[in-house]
A and B are shown apart, each in its own frame.
Chain A
């Protein structure tokens, strides 16, 4: 296979910054890569979940006797089998509260949404399992349900959880988060212009193409093996352990190839259920969700109701900003409040900020993380208001952002004082880009209007725990193991780093993802952290290996290890004083390893830090068919500080993919419920994600401003790209039509209605 070299973005590097072939590529283009649903086990049986037909109902009793009597049924599981975490005591795993997770995996006191699991069956095949589910008798007391935020926060709303109170009253508001800086009212008093708007967004699904799936084998010795696709095998192990009571040391979680996650696979649904079914039946159990189950009962991210108010002086200086963000948590607490509350105003230096978020439960599936959780819906509100403010002030929208952009030393309302800030560079990159300067014919033909919009975005990024092991094989090649599921090509970046540091051909490096029993603890693939954190631990591991290689050469040459250097894949005497020896290659040293001190390899386990935040600025041109209300994206350019692109193609891919998810969020995707509280569009036909013919090429502008806190300068990339598109597109539509859409998606019926009302 060829390796494509492209040194456009870096200098003096042989592999870092080049477009090498990904280590898992050949398996993925030939259909050999093993995803979660591809796994089979000898003696395997099939598990199936019985789901609530009601949006809200008390479970009086469950009778599984008829199901258990059906020939071919091997086990039945209900909430009684799942570990109960009492409501009065929080038990956290990362950001997940086990009180909610145990009730999400299997309804306990009440079914809280249409599709909520109430029981599960394992049987000799899927048909028998499905038939057994039909034979389970659940006695429900149907309760009034509530779906929308406005309805859920009314004083007379049906209350989902008796134990939740807000301001001393039973409430569907499960929590409040605040970020504050200065005195917001005093700030607004100084403003010449104030814009305030209220915005709505719908829940949108992460939309990964691979439904959740797992196979679990619980053996007679009490040890369990889990094959599943997730964004963290260690999360799978820990959460399954907590929910089943099986000790972590008795669970091996093997990460299958993962067919997309975007945050949603940072929690589990099936694994504990399958484990318990396997334990009861004595057989390996496979469970695969249907798309209908995925849409109905996993994810999505929160819908929102947000009010944003921003005040500025006549010269464009922003003096105060206030945001109130109500987010739909789904049926159990846990909206991503941190996204809108912290990120919405973070790119700007604003002396007075009050940003408040409310976590609102309703009878929907519990939300899961989705790419920069919560930040896009906050930026939609803020960046739309900024656009309107720029219009009122008569200032170019990018100028307004530039004038108020955060700088080194700026304090964000969420608490951080920024070190290096690269926001201005992203604005400049767009302002000077040919796209922003190109003329746009706003009325190209009758019935069509065009417009251009800009918006910016912020994401925290993250470090956290990562582990790596670098081993030299006996024939002198390199095997790197990390603990992070690779969703978007991170193995390709790791191969580039390792080959670069060792000074060897790229093809000599293999990269694999270890299971929970073969590599040290590694936190989730999420938060835009994996390339940042894993490159750090792989670098440190490789440096240790290089030290070992130098020591081996020193021993062979009988000189001091300090007198040996490692260059271009071989050990050399450091200088003329060190002595005259022919270089020893990696292959030669590997061949002598066992007689010269044993196998060569090193690992590093680290809680990584230094993941500075990511900034992005986007520009988009749209075209609106004013008769049909169809909005098309004509051109899209996205600038982002990526720190350093270890593998430019997969960095571009993150930006392009994030933007297109943002396009779907802005224009076509939404969760629709019927009057009974049932999801009305639980399929890829009715839940409309962008298809290939909906979108243009997406031009990524990668700004490589090295992160000084990372050995290669890496900055997290994956999440920031989905933050600006919602507002950028809404601003472009405003430019085209003069109508400011304060509700997403801007779907054709909504656009037609707005045009008729205008």
Chain B
């Protein structure tokens, strides 16, 4: 199998890589590009630990072939903080202890950011369904939902 050359943008940085056509985007992010913030919990699109955005759309990186990323804008957890400044969601997760072991946290944060970009004023139910693709086994989700709702409120206030 000959490798394919892929040109893409990851967290705003032009990025090129070579990969076999059967490699998942997750595999390339983690094992080729060293972006290990995106986690593998299942490899079957059921846990959301590998959540990334592709052209603004939330996807499981384990379900997408890396070659499909050609010409796309990929967003990962490593691009969430800007210039050393945490994203409000990241800051709120720390303040409200919305993580325990932290393995699901990158995926939850990426998914929550995508959710708030679509819906800046979600209800609790909307947050719960918005994050239903992200398994967390430690927290019981309580503090995660609260942190997302609080962040949304703060971000709305900041806009006004």
Interface string of A24-36 (1 = CB under 8 A from B): 1110111111110
Interface string of B129-145 (1 = CB under 8 A from A): 10111111111111111
Assembly CA distance A30 to B139 (angstroms): 18
Binds B, one of A54-62, A208-216, A498-506: A208-216
List residues of chain B with CB within 8 A of the CB of A210: 39, 41, 101, 103
Cβ of B15 within 8 Å of any chain A Cβ, yes or no, is: no
A653's partner among B80, B100, B131 (CB-CB below 8 A) is B100
Assembly CA distance A28 to B37 (angstroms): 9
- Please provide the chain B residues from 76 to 96 with a CB less than 8 Å away from any CB of chain A in the complex: 76-78, 80-81, 86, 90-91, 93-96
- Residue of B with least CB distance to A28: B102
Binds B, one of A87-95, A97-105, A690-698: A690-698
Cβ of A703 within 8 Å of any chain B Cβ, yes or no, is: no
Binds B, one of A218-226, A469-477, A655-663, A739-747: A655-663
List residues of chain B with CB within 8 A of the CB of A650: 97, 100
Cβ-defined contact, A259 with B39, below 8 A: yes
List residues of chain B with CB within 8 A of the CB of A31: 35-38, 76-78, 80, 106
- Residue of A with least CB distance to B81: A30
Assembly CA distance A260 to B137 (angstroms): 8
List residues of chain A with CB within 8 A of the CB of B128: 692-693
Cβ-defined contact, A4 with B95, below 8 A: yes
Assembly CA distance A711 to B152 (angstroms): 40
A290-B100 contact in complex given A26-B94, A32-B37, A660-B140, C-beta closer than 8 Å: no
- Residue of B with least CB distance to A262: B137
List residues of chain B with CB within 8 A of the CB of A260: 100-101, 103, 137-138
A209-B78 contact in complex given A260-B103, A488-B101, C-beta closer than 8 Å: no
Cβ of A396 within 8 Å of any chain B Cβ, yes or no, is: no
The smallest beta-carbon distance between A704 and chain B, in angstroms, is: 18
B47's partner among A2, A209, A653 (CB-CB below 8 A) is A209
List residues of chain A with CB within 8 A of the CB of B133: 691
Cβ-defined contact, A692 with B46, below 8 A: no
- Please provide the chain B residues from 106 to 160 with a CB less than 8 Å away from any CB of chain A in the complex: 106, 109, 125, 127-129, 131-146
Cβ-defined contact, A685 with B101, below 8 A: no
Cβ-defined contact, A37 with B142, below 8 A: no
List residues of chain B with CB within 8 A of the CB of A262: 137
List residues of chain B with CB within 8 A of the CB of A35: 39, 103
Which of A35, A38, A209, A652 is the most central at the interface, judged by chain B CB atoms within 10 Å of its CB?
A209
A25-B106 contact in complex given A649-B143, A685-B44, C-beta closer than 8 Å: no
Interface string of A1-21 (1 = CB under 8 A from B): 110100000000000000101
List residues of chain A with CB within 8 A of the CB of B37: 30-32
List residues of chain B with CB within 8 A of the CB of A489: 97, 100
Cβ-defined contact, B140 with A695, below 8 A: yes
A684-B40 contact in complex given A29-B109, A487-B101, A692-B144, C-beta closer than 8 Å: no
Cβ-defined contact, B142 with A29, below 8 A: no
List residues of chain A with CB within 8 A of the CB of B143: 649, 652-653, 656
The smallest beta-carbon distance between B13 and chain A, in angstroms, is: 15
Cβ-defined contact, B140 with A2, below 8 A: no
The smallest beta-carbon distance between B4 and chain A, in angstroms, is: 16
A691-B145 contact in complex given A31-B77, A210-B103, A257-B102, C-beta closer than 8 Å: no
Cβ-defined contact, A684 with B97, below 8 A: no
The smallest beta-carbon distance between A15 and chain B, in angstroms, is: 15
Cβ of B105 within 8 Å of any chain A Cβ, yes or no, is: yes
B132's partner among A290, A660, A691, A698 (CB-CB below 8 A) is A691
The smallest beta-carbon distance between B18 and chain A, in angstroms, is: 14
Cβ-defined contact, B135 with A22, below 8 A: no
Cβ-defined contact, B47 with A38, below 8 A: no
Cβ of B63 within 8 Å of any chain A Cβ, yes or no, is: no
Cβ of B69 within 8 Å of any chain A Cβ, yes or no, is: no
Which of A25, A35, A208 is the most central at the interface, judged by chain B CB atoms within 10 Å of its CB?
A25
Cβ of A207 within 8 Å of any chain B Cβ, yes or no, is: yes
Which of A26, A38, A259, A652 is the most central at the interface, judged by chain B CB atoms within 10 Å of its CB?
A259
Cβ-defined contact, B140 with A656, below 8 A: yes
Assembly CA distance A209 to B132 (angstroms): 15
The smallest beta-carbon distance between B22 and chain A, in angstroms, is: 9
Cβ-defined contact, B101 with A208, below 8 A: yes
List residues of chain A with CB within 8 A of the CB of B90: 29-30
Cβ-defined contact, B97 with A28, below 8 A: no
A685-B46 contact in complex given A24-B102, A649-B96, C-beta closer than 8 Å: yes
Assembly CA distance A659 to B139 (angstroms): 9
Interface string of A52-75 (1 = CB under 8 A from B): 000000000000000000000000
- Residue of A with least CB distance to B100: A488
Cβ of B43 within 8 Å of any chain A Cβ, yes or no, is: yes
List residues of chain B with CB within 8 A of the CB of A208: 101, 103, 137
Cβ-defined contact, B86 with A29, below 8 A: yes
Cβ of A258 within 8 Å of any chain B Cβ, yes or no, is: yes
- Residue of B with least CB distance to A691: B132
Cβ of A403 within 8 Å of any chain B Cβ, yes or no, is: no
Which of B30, B78, B138, B141 is the most central at the interface, judged by chain A CB atoms within 10 Å of its CB?
B138
Cβ of A478 within 8 Å of any chain B Cβ, yes or no, is: no
Cβ-defined contact, B102 with A689, below 8 A: no
List residues of chain B with CB within 8 A of the CB of A683: 42, 44, 46
Interface string of A210-243 (1 = CB under 8 A from B): 1100000000000000000000000000000000
Cβ-defined contact, A258 with B101, below 8 A: yes
List residues of chain B with CB within 8 A of the CB of A420: none
Assembly CA distance A658 to B30 (angstroms): 31
List residues of chain B with CB within 8 A of the CB of A660: 139-141
List residues of chain B with CB within 8 A of the CB of A1: 91, 94
A37-B138 contact in complex given A29-B109, A489-B100, C-beta closer than 8 Å: no
A657-B140 contact in complex given A209-B103, A489-B97, A691-B132, C-beta closer than 8 Å: yes
Assembly CA distance A22 to B94 (angstroms): 7
The smallest beta-carbon distance between B102 and chain A, in angstroms, is: 4
List residues of chain B with CB within 8 A of the CB of A2: 91, 95
The smallest beta-carbon distance between A690 and chain B, in angstroms, is: 8
Cβ of A291 within 8 Å of any chain B Cβ, yes or no, is: yes
Assembly CA distance A180 to B141 (angstroms): 40
List residues of chain A with CB within 8 A of the CB of B65: none
The smallest beta-carbon distance between A596 and chain B, in angstroms, is: 38
Cβ of B49 within 8 Å of any chain A Cβ, yes or no, is: yes
List residues of chain A with CB within 8 A of the CB of B140: 653, 656-661, 695, 698
- Residue of A with least CB distance to B20: A127
A693's partner among B43, B81, B132 (CB-CB below 8 A) is B132
List 8 tightest A-B contacts by C-beta distance, closest first: A31-B37, A259-B103, A649-B97, A660-B140, A28-B102, A684-B46, A656-B140, A31-B77
Inter-chain pairs besides A652-B97, A689-B137, 5 sampled, C-beta below 8 Å: A262-B137, A653-B143, A660-B139, A660-B140, A691-B135
A-B contacts, 18 listed (Cβ < 8 Å): A19-B95, A21-B95, A24-B102, A26-B86, A29-B99, A33-B102, A37-B40, A38-B36, A208-B103, A209-B101, A209-B136, A260-B137, A291-B41, A291-B43, A657-B100, A685-B44, A692-B131, A693-B129
Measured CB to CB, the residues of A under 8 A from B are 1-2, 4, 19, 21-22, 24-26, 28-35, 37-38, 40, 206-211, 257-262, 288, 290-291, 487-489, 492, 647, 649-650, 652-653, 656-661, 683-685, 689-695, 697-698
Measured CB to CB, the residues of B under 8 A from A are 30, 34-44, 46-47, 49, 76-78, 80-81, 86, 90-91, 93-97, 99-106, 109, 125, 127-129, 131-146
